[in-house]
Structures are given as C-alpha cells and as structure tokens.
Amino acid sequence: MADLNERYPDNAPGRYYVDMNCIDCDVCRDSAQENFRRNDGGGYSFVYKQPETEAEREECERVRGECPVDAIGDNG
C-alpha cells in the first residue's frame, strides 16, 4: 500500500500520488498517459496531472490496482 509520507515531491497536488516504492515499470504511464509521467533522472513515475474527468479518474483507479508494487496512492 502506498504511503503518503513517502510520496515523491514531483506529484501534482491532489488525490493521487506515487511513492518511493515505484519500480519504473511503465504500467501507469502506458495506461494513463494524461496523468502520469516519468522522472528521467530519478527513474520513477509520478502524477503529472490529477484527473479532471471521470474517464481519467477511472484510468487512475485502474492503474492503481495494476501497480505491481502498490506505489500509487489515493488520498481522497
């Protein structure tokens, strides 16, 4: 389970975040491209933009469940 206290500072403020357990597997970036980006220097993903539509929110929820290391959190 993602830990709010270990979230990356790159995450956009809001409900979803990625924490330090991220293994840079591409799952979130491939499936929710509007919301997740890669920090190339750090080798991890982060929430670039919080979801603005129901479709984006559903994608964020889906990839949160698919994250192999549970690094995507929902603080909402």
Question: pLDDT tens across 13-28, in order?
Answer: 999 999 999 999 999 9
Read off the pLDDT of each residue in 46-66 and give the average, rounded to a whole number.
98
Q: Write down the pLDDT at residue 55.
A: 97
The answer, as to whether pTM is greater than 0.75, is: yes
As a whole number, mean pLDDT of residues 20-47 equals: 97
Provide the percentage of residues in the chain whose pLDDT is more than 70. Answer: 100
**Cα dihedral value 29, 5, 75, 73, nearest 10:** 30
Q: What is the pLDDT at residue 76?
A: 85
The CATH number given to whatever domain includes residue 69 is 3.30.70.20
- Domain range for 55 is 4-74
What is the identity of the amino acid at 27?
V
Domain total of the chain: 1
Q: For 17, what's the count of Cα atoms within 13 Å in the CB-facing half-sphere?
A: 20
Q: Cα–Cα distances in Å, from 51 out to 13, 18, 40, 42?
A: 11, 14, 22, 23
